[in-house]
Structure 1
Amino acid sequence: MPAVKPSVDAASRRSAIVLALCLPSDVLLYLLLPMHVQAFGISLAQAGVLLAANRLVRIFGYSYVVRYYARHGDRPTVMLAAATATVCALGNAVISGFWWLLILRLGWGLAYAALNLSTQVLATSEPAGAAHRSGRSRAYIAIGPMLALPVGALISIQFGPRPVFIVLALAALLGCWVARGLPGLAHVMPTASGRRFKAPDSVAIWSFVEGVALDGLFIFGLSLQAQAVMGTNAVLVAGVLLALRYVSEMLLSPLGGRLADHVGAVNMLVVCSVLTCIALTAFGSHWLILGAASVLILRAVQLPLVTTLVAQRNPGPGRVQALAANAVWRDIGAGLGPLLAGVLLPVASATWVFAGAGLAVALSAIVCGLRK
């Protein structure tokens, strides 16, 4: 007897829950790896490479993930991705050394690509209610990291940075079981267009710079700055601040979109970027909590602005390609950011590093506003 196909809402919710169970093992690594490089048998520069690797592999491996997903459908793809996430989390608990950890990071990068793709495709599989499902999907996904960050920080304080990943491996394993209820039908995807690699426009340049500064330097540097300023409370403070990232995304991104409708997306982008420059400078100057919280809030407000700008400047059939290209440039920047952080922060003043990053964000936004 054939299995009953679940409703679109139920499938979208189930896929999001799987990602919520698997994602904490990644976000906890951003918190713990820079603080405990010796426990993992690596250097700080190698930590930067490891935290960048999962994004960089997606740039080159995404097309393979899409083809596998289209051929096999959600259930087999998501179960395989959740199983990979389980192995990666367990490896983070017991494996030391750069090269072995790099293999785990590459595996997680491809697994995340599959998990994220499933959440997006299922949420938009029917036009009716797609926006509502997409928003609800993001809220479900954010619950996992939001809860895991402060709890994981407390566990690491009591038992060290490695045992917490055993707990996270069990959570990802639960994700494998949840994924069993997903539909197993293949997806019809358009054939690849063979588009050429194009130079970035002003919006893509801002996305690249923002990826370097916020998704790279800032997230990597948050643990180090907390350690330098807060001492023994560093892990807990950084964990709570990173959890604020997911809370603010749930609450403030819709607000940013509504404000952009009234004052214009490009005007909002310029204002938020200038404020981000000030917040990053404060963060690097030991105003840790105020600066970091301001950066995370402003980041959440900015999230819907770039998508709106790309759509406005690329109307018609070119919109989808432009959105994809913009996402690639952001991933490139977010992959480069931890590499720069691992090299610069041990030898340069944090104040100058983060002030320079903030200035780059502000200037790229101003250029974006001038090139309307």
Structure 2
Amino acid sequence: MIFEKMNSRSKVVAIALITAVTVLGDSMLFIVLPLYWQDFGLTEVWQVGVLLAINRFVRLPITPLVGLFYKKYDVRVGILLAVLLAGLSTLSYGLANGFIVLLIMRMCWGIAWSFIRLGGMLTVVSSSEDHNRGKLMGLYNGLWGLGGLTGMLAGGFFIDIFSITAVTTVFAIGSFLLLPFIYLLIPKTEEKKAAQEAANKFKNLDLSFLTPYTRLVIATSATMGFIVLGIFASSLSTLIGQSYDEQWTLFGTIISITALAGAIQAFRWSWEPFIAPLFGRMVDRTKNKHGLILIPLSFSIITFWLLGYVDIIVPLLIVIFVFQIASTMFVTVTDTLAAGAAAKTDSVKMMTLHTIMVDLGAAFGPLLSFFILFWFDLNMVFYVSSMIMTVLAVAWLIYGIKQKKPMSRA
């Protein structure tokens, strides 16, 4: 078996690249669907929000069941099922027509992602030791993120050159070609201990351990998912489309809205492995870590308000760039706050709840944005989001003031 002969790093690289191929279709859909929703057979704009959100809602109840699945079956069985479902769902994006069919396929993708995400993490756990676990987990996350980058870039550029069906078919074929390699690269033996630990993370979730501080951290987790992974990711194409009047060209080729939106999203993926660690080190050196969240929150509030106001493409792109820098810091600080809270409470339950709330926020983001679009314009989406972040910032300010009061009396 090839897997047994591979070193730890090679095993992690293998599962990460498998994961990267499966996310191509999902990443592409976030760029293409908001602009070409009628080409997918949709009849109302709110249906776009439902399709972009449903996979995340599905993951919430499915993840505990996937953990139980991996207690009894080989990791490679779950990965095989995930890759097959990912290929079928990606293929359906170009061949299927109509809301109901696409809704079912997006639910299938949600199931697929639960299997491959947890299966990938179990592979990292079984392939690592205490001295290299963090490094290998970072390697895994960074490599599979390349799939998101490729899906957004390739999807954005090639949809206009070829067709939706052609691009989704190529992405799906990539998943299907992985199937025979799974049996070569994924271990046959059951990872019972790691699987048991993963399954235990998602049961007996007693919320009594939550203090006012941890509740505020959890609210921040949900807001971060809502803003960064939900609202911004699902609205970017539409936002650019309403201001991109003059078409730009590159080497004689017209840059379409989807290509521009894909490049902007992919740009953030490309700098994330370099900029995020810098922010992380800054957080580590700061004593008042909970006060640091106000920096990305303030920039996000201002830039989101401007995104609803600016309608000229060049200033708009500048504002988007500033927000993406702020969002990288937003994600980094939020994860650090959650990890810090986990170290002082029940670590498993805290990090599980953090993950669930990020997913929940990311699910409600596109759902709410396209329901707002049904009655109002896109500007209202960003104004409402800015106000939500303002409420969170005020909550952190009040918490900081209360923390300083006992010190001033001493």
TM-score range, shorter chain: over 0.9
Contact 1:51-1:338 at 8 Å conserved across structures: yes
Structure 1 residue 331: deviation in Å? 1.2
- Mean Cα displacement is larger for which, 195-204 or 209-218? 195-204
Q: Which residue of 1 aligns with 2:366?
A: 338
Within the alignment, does 1:248 sit opposite 2:256 as a pair?
no
Q: Which residue of 2 aligns with 1:138?
A: 141
Q: Which residue of 2 aligns with 1:237?
A: 260
Q: Indicate the SS of the match to 1:226.
A: helix
Contact 2:291-2:396 at 8 Å conserved across structures: no
Q: Which residue of 1 aligns with 2:404?
A: none
Mark the CA change 1:366 to 1:261 in structure 2 (over 3 Å): closer, same or farther: farther
Within the alignment, does 1:58 sit opposite 2:59 as a pair?
yes
Q: Which residue of 2 aligns with 1:350?
A: 378
Contact 1:284-1:351 at 8 Å conserved across structures: yes
**Distance (whole Å) between structure 1 residues aligned to residue 3 and residue 366 of structure 2:** 45
State which of 201, 208, 222 in structure 1 corresponds to 2:222. Answer: 208
Structure 1 residue 279: deviation in Å? 1.6
Q: Which residue of 2 aligns with 1:157?
A: 160
Mark the CA change 1:94 to 1:368 in structure 2 (over 3 Å): closer, same or farther: same
RMSD: 2.2
**Distance (whole Å) between structure 2 residues aligned to residue 226 and residue 168 of structure 1:** 25
Structure 1 residue 5: deviation in Å? 5.7
1:76 maps to a residue whose letter is V
1:281 maps to a residue whose letter is W
Within the alignment, does 1:110 sit opposite 2:114 as a pair?
no
Q: Indicate the SS of the match to 1:214.
A: helix
Mark the CA change 1:186 to 1:283 in structure 2 (over 3 Å): closer, same or farther: same
Structure 1 residue 73: deviation in Å? 2.6
Mark the CA change 1:157 to 1:63 in structure 2 (over 3 Å): closer, same or farther: same
Structure 1 residue 139: deviation in Å? 1.9
Alignment of 1:1-372 (within 5 A): 4=4, 6-42=6-42, 43-125=44-126, 126-180=129-183, 181-187=185-191, 188=193, 189-190=196-197, 192=200, 193-196=203-206, 201-231=215-245, 233-263=256-286, 264-285=288-309, 286=311, 287-316=315-344, 318-368=346-396, 370-371=398-399
Which deviations, in whole Å up to 9, do the C-alpha atoms of 1:213-265 show, x marking residues without a partner? 22212111111111111156311110101112311322221111111012343
Mark the CA change 1:2 to 1:276 in structure 2 (over 3 Å): closer, same or farther: closer
1:259 maps to a residue whose letter is M
Contact 1:6-1:183 at 8 Å conserved across structures: no
Q: Indicate the SS of the match to 1:148.
A: helix
Contact 2:31-2:155 at 8 Å conserved across structures: no
Structure 1 residue 323: deviation in Å? 1.1
- Mean Cα displacement is larger for which, 276-285 or 2-11? 2-11
Mark the CA change 1:197 to 1:165 in structure 2 (over 3 Å): closer, same or farther: farther
Structure 1 residue 201: deviation in Å? 0.7
- Mean Cα displacement is larger for which, 101-110 or 283-292? 283-292
**Distance (whole Å) between structure 2 residues aligned to residue 2 and residue 254 of structure 1:** 33
* Unpaired runs of at least 5, structure 1: none
Mark the CA change 1:282 to 1:178 in structure 2 (over 3 Å): closer, same or farther: farther
1:121 maps to a residue whose letter is L
Structure 1 residue 137: deviation in Å? 1.3
Normalising by structure 1, what TM-score?
A: 0.93
**Distance (whole Å) between structure 2 residues aligned to residue 41 and residue 315 of structure 1:** 48
Mark the CA change 1:156 to 1:3 in structure 2 (over 3 Å): closer, same or farther: closer
Structure 1 residue 309: deviation in Å? 1.4
**Distance (whole Å) between structure 2 residues aligned to residue 173 and residue 351 of structure 1:** 41
Percent sequence identity over aligned pairs = 23
- Mean Cα displacement is larger for which, 20-29 or 286-295? 286-295
Mark the CA change 1:149 to 1:307 in structure 2 (over 3 Å): closer, same or farther: closer
- Mean Cα displacement is larger for which, 225-234 or 38-47? 225-234
**Distance (whole Å) between structure 1 residues aligned to residue 387 and residue 298 of structure 2:** 8
- Mean Cα displacement is larger for which, 217-226 or 231-240? 231-240
Contact 1:11-1:183 at 8 Å conserved across structures: no
Structure 1 residue 367: deviation in Å? 1.6
**Distance (whole Å) between structure 2 residues aligned to residue 177 and residue 305 of structure 1:** 40
Structure 1 residue 369: deviation in Å? 5.2
Which deviations, in whole Å up to 9, do the C-alpha atoms of 1:293-335 show, x marking residues without a partner? 2222222222232232123234356022011112111211111
1:124 maps to a residue whose letter is V
